[in-house]
Structure 1
C-alpha cells in the first residue's frame, strides 16, 4: 500500500497528478457481474448501436468507481473516502479494439476539521468531460 497522505502535508490547491485508466469490454463484463447491471449496451455493440449509441459504453457507476479508486490510491487508504458524489456528463465509449482511456486528475479544494479534505475531480475520455461536480470528502492521516 502507498504511504498515507498526511493532512498537514496538503493545502488548498494541492494538485493530484492525472492518472490514466484503461477501460476495455472485459472490465465492463466483470463490472456487470459485480454490480448486477447486465444491460447489453455495456457489452454488446449491436444493442448499443440499435438504441442510438455510437458503440458500447461504460457503466456510469464503473466510471465513478474509477474516480473513487483514484482518490483512495492517492490517499494511501482504501477506506479514506467518507463522501463522494458526481454528475454524469458524457459517456465513456468503449470500442472493441483498443478500448478507451479514462484520465482522472484532482485538486484539494477545501480543508475541513477532523483531518478531512474535499477533493474536486476531473475525469475525461476522448476529449470529453465525463464526470462533473465530482467531489470526494477524504479522511487523511
Structure 2
C-alpha cells in the first residue's frame, strides 16, 4: 500500500493486461442488466456500423479501476472516478477475444492524503478511454 509522503508525481502504477472474451460480456450483461445486442450479437453490431461485437463501456471502465484498487489495497479508498469513452473494445468470436492494457501514474498530489491517478487503456493499439482519472485517499 502506498503512503502519501512517499509518492511523487509521475510515479507509475503496476500495469495490467486483462483479456476480454464474449463469455465475459455475457456475464457482465447478466450482472448489469445491459443486454444490448451490440455486446453479444455480431450480426446486429455490424448492422449498426460497428466492426464487431464491442465490450460494454462500463465493463472497460471497471477493469481500469482495478489497477488503482490493487495498488492502493482498498476499493473504498477511491473518492472519485470518471472516464470518457473514446473507442470501443472490439471483441471477436475467434477463441481469443481481445485484451486491454491498463496503466496509470500519479498525476497530482492533492493534499489531505488524496492523489490523482491518471489512467490509460489501450486495446488493439488504440486508446479506448480518455480523461480516465481517479482520486484516491492513501494513508
- TM-score, normalised to structure 2, is 0.95
Size of the aligned set, in residue pairs, is 138
Is the partner of 2:64 in helix, strand or coil? helix
The structure 1 segments of at least 4 consecutive aligned residues displaced by more than 2 Å after TM superposition are: none
- For 2:3 and 2:19, the matched residues in 1 are separated by 29
Q: How does 1:63-74 map to 2 (within 5 A)?
A: 63-74=60-71
Residue 83 of structure 1 is matched in structure 2 by 80
State which drifts further: 115-124 or 6-15: 6-15
Q: Does 1:13 align with 2:15?
A: no
Q: Does 1:29 align with 2:34?
A: no
Out of 109, 112, 117, the residue aligned to residue 110 of structure 2 is 112
Residue 131 of structure 2 is matched in structure 1 by 133
Residue 93 of structure 1 is matched in structure 2 by 90
Is the partner of 2:71 in helix, strand or coil? helix
Instruction: Indicate the RMSD between aligned Cα atoms, in angstroms.
Output: 1.0
- TM-score, normalised to structure 1, is 0.94
State which drifts further: 57-66 or 15-24: 15-24
Q: Which runs of 5+ in 2 are unaligned?
A: none
1:9 Cα offset (Å): 2.1
1:17 Cα offset (Å): 2.8
